[in-house]
Amino acid sequence: MSDYTPPLDELRFALKYVADLPAVAALPGFDALGDDLVDAILAEAGHFCAEVVAPTNKPADRQGTSVKDNAVVTAPVLDGVYAAYRGAGWPSLTGATAYGGQGLPHTLGFAVDEILQSANMAFSLLPMLTQGVITALGRFGSEQQKNLYLPRLISGEWAGTMNLTESQAGSDLGVVKTRAERDGEHYRLFGQKIFITWGDQSYTDNIVHLVLARTPDAPAGVKGISLFIVPKFLVNEAGEIGERNDVYPIGVEHKLGIHASPTCTMAYGDNVGAVGYLVGVENEGLRYMFAMMNHARLAVGLQGVSLAERACQHALDYARQRVQGGVAISQHPDVRRMLLTMQALTQAGRALTLASMHHFDHAVHAAAEGERTRHQQRVDLLTPLVKGWCTEIVNEVTSLAIQVHGGMGYIEETGVAQYYRDARIVSIYEGTNGIQALDLVGRKLLMNSGAHATELLADLQIIVSQCREAKLTAVAQQLERALGLCAEAVRDVLAKSSADPHHAGAVAFNLLMLMGTTAAGCYLVKGAAKAAELSLSEGDESGFYSRKIGIARIYAEQVLPRCHGYHEAVMAGAGSIMGVEL
């Protein structure tokens, strides 16, 4: 039995009314996607993940991973799970049809991914990293590379990893040292990468490592980084597996959480040099990596939502059963405050993430180029908010889940401590949230003088009008205030950043939290306004719509007031932060 129930009604509702999946499905290429198919896919994903994947979460965490004889040993309880996942066709859901994929929208793919990540986040990292490699090769690989690798990655026959980090090169990838020397038609790589997620496993016939490295005469810094495909096993043009390449895992990290995900130190070229194939042209590697990071960063934001959802379910279940003071603790106002705040934050994170995926699919599939550009600009702006905000709130939600459990929350046996441990990484990897905040201010605000943010705030204002029409007046007032604070904070950052080199960096995180809290709230309320309309037209026998409205009120009362604090911190500027001696 699993203690996780996929939130199918929530996902269906958010897909249809917040992410406007019907509009996505109407884009060229998605014509067969009706409500029935969406429901069937979600139900099947829910069934598979609840029955097959979710029960492995706790035992896999206990079993962990190790390295023996230069190969990763994975948690025994996961044996057969990847094969079942692949056998059911899940890896190919959003893959391009030209390479054997099912070609479904990423908006729907993210709803399915939420379920998989809730079921076992450590396991879900394997397909997530593979998706990163598919995205990068799909955009920048040669025709020959695409034909060789994409069908096998999309089918799940092979997996992929991302190899960026070295001990001296984390946030600053400009100082990557791994060496790539030309050797005829290919290159040979020498060096060591650390923290490589699922750097090795025996579930797939081959592993395609995407590796950042530097050629001998490359310019220093970020302008001298190239991107290489380094397969675990060399293959011929027909994709037949040949000899073992000179890349091996030499250790796994002992971590706070995600114990079932092997975080590997990878040795490249300890013997003859690892054979690597250049992607695109030399010295453009970092640009390729950044271009594919949108998807990966949105996917990590989704991990925040997924873990928060599982923590919400666990805490509510416990609170209904635990009796103190003669009643279930779920009846105590302070416990209700915690449970409802957790639900409001989680549902807002889901709304923000799926709304962003609406733009992600439009940026690829919209018919007119101008439309694609407009949606891409919106994805670019929303990405640091999704990654940053959703991965911050999951730390709060999983911590509250422990608090709801009282002392039992601190005891591993309960299982809720694992979500808290697992959640801690998501605000760190795929670019720390400090780096997300700098991205928001530096690339997404300053580079277009705030024009894209102004457009976003104007679009969110339309949701406030929908909210008023639905007679959610108090919620609309809170949202309107938050939007006003965002506009003022953005203006202030634009005005002060050129005069003070420290200003943007000092205020960036609080600006990210201000804009994330506001945007997520708006998308949550978009759903609540629709729920109010539907409850009038359809009735509300199950109480689903009135709960949606109630959660929007909780968000407005318990979460949106935080915007004033974030705003004040932004307006305080860099003076004290740079002035006080450390």
- Active-site residue list: 430
Q: Between 257 and 296, how does the x/- string for binding to ligand FAD read (CB under 6 A)?
A: ------x---------------------------------
The answer to whether 269 and 188 have CB atoms below 8 angstroms apart is: yes
Please tell me whether residue 434 binds ligand FAD under the rule CB under 6 A. Answer: yes
**Options 15-23, 102-110, 194-202, 219-227: segment touching ligand FAD (CB under 6 A):** 194-202
CA distance 14 to 526: 10
CB neighbourhood size of 103 (10 A): 17
The answer to whether 121 and 58 have CB atoms below 8 angstroms apart is: no
Q: Least Å distance between CB 266 and ligand FAD?
A: 9
β 158-163/206-213 pair status: parallel
Please tell me whether residue 466 binds ligand FAD under the rule CB under 6 A. Answer: no
Could you tell me the two tokens for 421?
């441990």
Please tell me whether residue 135 binds ligand FAD under the rule CB under 6 A. Answer: no
Please tell me whether residue 435 binds ligand FAD under the rule CB under 6 A. Answer: yes
Q: How many helices (H) and strands (E) does the chain have?
A: 19, 14
**Options 162-170, 174-182, 218-226, 362-370: segment touching ligand FAD (CB under 6 A):** 162-170
CA distance 23 to 358: 8
Reference 103, options 30, 25, 22; nearest CA is 30
Q: Least Å distance between CB 26 and ligand FAD?
A: 36
Sole binder of ligand FAD in the list 130, 135, 178, 197 (CB under 6 A): 197
Please tell me whether residue 17 binds ligand FAD under the rule CB under 6 A. Answer: no
Please tell me whether residue 165 binds ligand FAD under the rule CB under 6 A. Answer: yes
CA distance 488 to 314: 39
Nearer to ligand FAD, 110 or 195 (CB): 195
Please tell me whether residue 92 binds ligand FAD under the rule CB under 6 A. Answer: no
CA distance 193 to 174: 14
Nearer to ligand FAD, 93 or 425 (CB): 425
| Three-state secondary-structure class, residue 20 | coil
Q: Least Å distance between CB 229 and ligand FAD?
A: 15
| Three-state secondary-structure class, residue 224 | helix
**Options 111-119, 191-199, 522-530, 534-542: segment touching ligand FAD (CB under 6 A):** 191-199
Full DSSP string of 84-128: HHHHTTGGGTTS-GGGT-----HHHHHHHHHHHHHH-HHHHHHHH
Full DSSP string of 507-573: HHHHHHHHHHHHHHHHHHHHHHHHHHHHHHHH--TTSHHHHHHHHHHHIIIIITTHHHHHHHHHHH-
Which distant-in-sequence residues (6+ apart) come within 8 Å of 461 by Cβ? 480, 483
CA distance 168 to 164: 11
Footprint (CB under 6 A) of ligand FAD, residues 337-396? none
Angle at CA 456, nearest 5°, toward 521 and 16?
55
Computed on alpha carbons and rounded to an integer, the radius of gyration of the chain in Å comes to 24
Sole binder of ligand FAD in the list 66, 432, 477, 546 (CB under 6 A): 432
Sole binder of ligand FAD in the list 162, 298, 316, 397 (CB under 6 A): 162
Sole binder of ligand FAD in the list 70, 171, 373, 473 (CB under 6 A): 171
Q: Least Å distance between CB 400 and ligand FAD?
A: 23
**Options 116-124, 157-165, 226-234, 444-452: segment touching ligand FAD (CB under 6 A):** 157-165
Largest Cα–Cα distance of the chain, in whole Å? 78
Sole binder of ligand FAD in the list 112, 119, 133, 196 (CB under 6 A): 196
Please tell me whether residue 163 binds ligand FAD under the rule CB under 6 A. Answer: yes
Please tell me whether residue 170 binds ligand FAD under the rule CB under 6 A. Answer: yes
Please tell me whether residue 423 binds ligand FAD under the rule CB under 6 A. Answer: no
Residue with the shortest CB distance to ligand FAD? 170
**Options 110-118, 192-200, 383-391, 521-529: segment touching ligand FAD (CB under 6 A):** 192-200
Q: How many residues bind ligand FAD (CB under 6 A)?
A: 19
DSSP 169: B
Please tell me whether residue 463 binds ligand FAD under the rule CB under 6 A. Answer: no
The contact set with ligand FAD (CB under 6 A) reads 162-165, 170-171, 195-197, 255, 263, 425, 428-429, 431-432, 434-435, 438
